[in-house]
Structure 1
Amino acid sequence: MEALEDAAFSSGAALARLDAVLRRDNLPQALLRDRLALRAAEACMVFAGRQDRAGDLRDAVHLLRPGDLPGPAGETCLAWRRAVARPVGLRALHRALPDCAPAQIAVWLDARQGAPIARAAMVLEAVLTDLPRGEVPALILADAVLAQALGWDHLVPLLAPGLQRADLRKRGDELRLACHRAGAASALQAVRDAADLARRAAHLLAVAPKLRAKGAKDAVAMFLTQEAVAPAALPLSDRAARRLCDRLVALGAVRELTGRETFRLYGL
C-alpha cells in the first residue's frame, strides 16, 4: 500500500504544476472550470448509481426549456457549474447548494486543518458523516476548501473525478490517501485539459475576425466560457446561430458534441 507521505508528495507536486498553469494569461479559466464541473458531475452520477454520462448531463442543462425541471442529473450538473462560476465564498456555495443552510455550510468548512488535501479530506468526511448520501455537497465543499487553501479565487473540481465510489466510505488516513491520489490524478488531467483548451481558444480567436454575423463577438465569448453551447442560447436569430455554428465547425474552431442532426450542442 502506498504510504500517505508518498501520496502527499505526489499530490503536492501535481497541484503545484496545476497552480502554475492556472496563472497563465492565455488560459480560458472559466471554460476549464466548466469542463471540470461536467467531469465532476459525471463522477457524482456514478457515485449515485446512475447511468447518466457527459452527453446526458449536457442535454439536461442546455436543452432545458423555461419551466422545465432539470431532474437529478441536471440538478447535479447545475450545482457544479454554479459552484465554479463565482469566486469561492459562503454566498456562492449556498447558491450552488440551496438545500444546505449557510450556517451549516460554514460549520462544515470549519472542519479543517493541515495541508490543502488534508483539509479537503476532513471536510469531505464531516459532510458525509452528517449526510451519508450527500456526495454532491461533500465534494463541492471539499474542493472549495482545497481552492481556498491553495489561494485560488475559484473552485476547481478535482476530487470527484479521481475518487472511486468505495473511497467515499473511507475515513481517516484511508480517506486522506484516496484524496491525495485523486488530487494528483485530476490535477495532471486538468493540466492536459488546460493545454488543449488554450490551443483551441487561440484558434477560435484567430478565426473570429472572419465572422461577419452580428453578435458573433458575443457568441465567441460564450464559447470561451462554456463547455457546451446550444445555438438557441447564442445572441443571434435561430437561423443565424445555426449558420454561425456550422461556419465555426468548418473553420475547425468548435466541435459539434452530440452527433445528432437536431438539438445539437457545440463547444471547443
Structure 2
Amino acid sequence: MAKAKTKTKVKSRVPAGYDLSKIDTRAPKELDKDEIKKKTLAIVQELDELQNLLYAESKHSILVVIQGMDAAGKDGLIRDVFGQMNPQGVKVSSFKVPTAEETAHDFLWRIHKQAPEKGIIQVFNRSHYEDILVTRVHGTCDDHTALERMKAIEDFEQLLSRHNHTQILKLYLHISHKEQQQRLQERIHIPRKMWKYNESDFKESERWDDYRKYYEEAFEGCSSIPWHIIPSDQNWYKSYQVATLLRDTLKGLKMNYPGLKK
C-alpha cells in the first residue's frame, strides 16, 4: 500500500501505545441485539431529562468529539443518540475542509468558536484532530508540526475542562476495513444513501494503514483527556455504548434543578 509523502524526513517521536488492530470492531457475541436496542431506547429517554437538567442548571457543558474513518457512522450516531433531545440544548458542528478565512488563522481558531457554553451539549462531527490526521496522510503537516499541534490540542482541551467546566468525551468509531468497504459500496447502490457518495472516499480508503497509524499517534499524543474506542461495525452496539457513556457522564455531574429566583 502506497505511503503518503511528507514534507520532511523527520522521524516521528510520538510513542505508540495504541494498537487498533488488537481491538475488536464488533459487539461481544453473547449480547442480544434486540435486548440492547431496548436498553438504548430507555437510555435515550433518560438522556432527554438529563439534558434538560444540564440546560436548567447551566453550570457545566458537554463536548462530544466524534472521529472515525469515512463511513464509520458519525451521522447516524448523532441522529440516534442526540436526535431525541431538546434541540435548544444540543448543537452539532461539522468540520470540513477549512475555508480561506479559516486557514488564515491558527488551526484551532475555527474550533474554539464552536466550544459549548454552559448548559449545552456540543457535538463535533470531525474536529481539531483532522489537522493532525488528514494533513499528515496527505503530507501537508510534518511530524514536528504535528507534535506541536498535539501540545496545543492538549492545552486547548485542558482550558475547556478546567476553566469552563466542560466535560469532554472523545470518541473514535472503530470499524474494520471490510465494513468500511461494504458501506461505501452501499452509497453506490442504495438510493437513500447515494447523496453521501464521494469518489474520493474510495481513494482515501486505500490509505487505511496511514490513517490507522496517525490515529494511534493522536490517541497517544493527546491522552490527558482519554479516548473511548467504540466498536462500530454494528450500529446498534455503537449507539448503546455512546448513549451509556453520555448518560453516566451527565449523572456524574450530580446536577440539581435551580430553585425559585428571589
Shorter-chain TM-score: which interval? under 0.3
* Structure with a larger share of its residues in helix: 1
User: If the length of structure 1 is used for normalisation, what is the TM-score?
Assistant: 0.27
* Structure with a larger share of its residues in strand: 2
User: If the length of structure 2 is used for normalisation, what is the TM-score?
Assistant: 0.28
Structure ranking higher on relative contact order (CA contacts 8 Å, 6+ apart) = 2
